[in-house]
Amino acid sequence: MSLDRTTSQVLFDNGTHKCISFTSLVKGEGVQANQFLIIDHERAAVLDPGGDLTYIPLTMELNRYTRLANLDYVMASHQDPDIITSMPRWLVYTDAKVVASKLWARFLPHLNSAFMSDRMKGNWLDRLVELPDQGQSIALGHAAILAIPAHFLHSVGNFQFYDPVSKILFSGDMGASMVENASQPLEDFEAHIPKMKAFHQRYMCANKVIRLWVNMVRKMDIEMIVPQHGSAFIGKEKVKQFLDWIETLQCGVDLMDERIFHCPV
């Protein structure tokens, strides 16, 4: 398989700590999705690696930056197919632990429990870091990644991953957009709104929980918000523009009414 050398972007690199984004590994019918690698002092974590569609191209890309033997974690913001359906492969072919909400711990083995139990190293509970609702700090190399709560944005047990070294918030589906080229920097925020509005109106649960999230995030020192689909918000001005916009958005149950809830026949 030949690899497009533009598939990865180095978001941050200070010599011992790196954050890398992969924006164009999904081919075919699957929705565009970004995958991420964080490395600190040679220890590595993969964030939202996706499913079978991305497992092989992603592992080939990872080998350009680290060895699979250095992979300590596969972190999942939530349970969706484009997030973590490759989980059995990571459990069989690496020693990485899966980091996910405690709400999904009993559901994830359904992805392929026979394959896992036959061939995975260790048992499922030893390979799982179950996140409590309030989140937690996860040691990586000489640093730590913070799992921060983003429940109902959009999944019932939903986390984002904040890297205090790079000051990047890996935001899962918050801030997601459908764009031609996810590796291109976002220039015009107003022109970007139509590329994310309908998605957030349907996939995010309610404005109440968006405001809780925005209030928390405004207190954090964030240089980039990097979603799992589409363009990143790079720089404090773009981060502020996104927070100001999403804070007032009505979405999810705010928009449900009798026009949807009536019997179609």
Which residues are near Fe ion by CB under 5 A? 80, 173
Residue 59, amino acid? T
Nearest distance in Å: CB 229, Fe ion: 9
What is residue 242's three-state secondary structure? helix
Nearest distance in Å: CB 154, Fe ion: 6
Nearest to 32 by CA among 227, 198, 202: 227
Q: Which is nearer to Fe ion, 84 or 239 (CB)?
A: 84
Give burial (CB, 10 Å; 0-12/13-18/19+) of 109.
Answer: middle
Q: Which is nearer to Fe ion, 61 or 82 (CB)?
A: 82
Nearest distance in Å: CB 80, Fe ion: 3
Q: Which is nearer to Fe ion, 22 or 104 (CB)?
A: 104
Nearest distance in Å: CB 190, Fe ion: 26
Nearest distance in Å: CB 251, Fe ion: 14
Select the residue whose beta carbon is closest to Fe ion and give its number: 80
Report the sign of the C-alpha dihedral through residues 97, 78, 158, 44, in that order: positive
Q: Which is nearer to Fe ion, 163 or 173 (CB)?
A: 173
End-to-end CA distance of the chain: 49
Residues 6+ apart with CB under 8 A from 37: 18, 19, 20, 22, 44, 45, 46, 47, 61, 62, 65, 66
- Widest Cα–Cα separation across the chain: 62
Q: Which is nearer to Fe ion, 23 or 85 (CB)?
A: 85
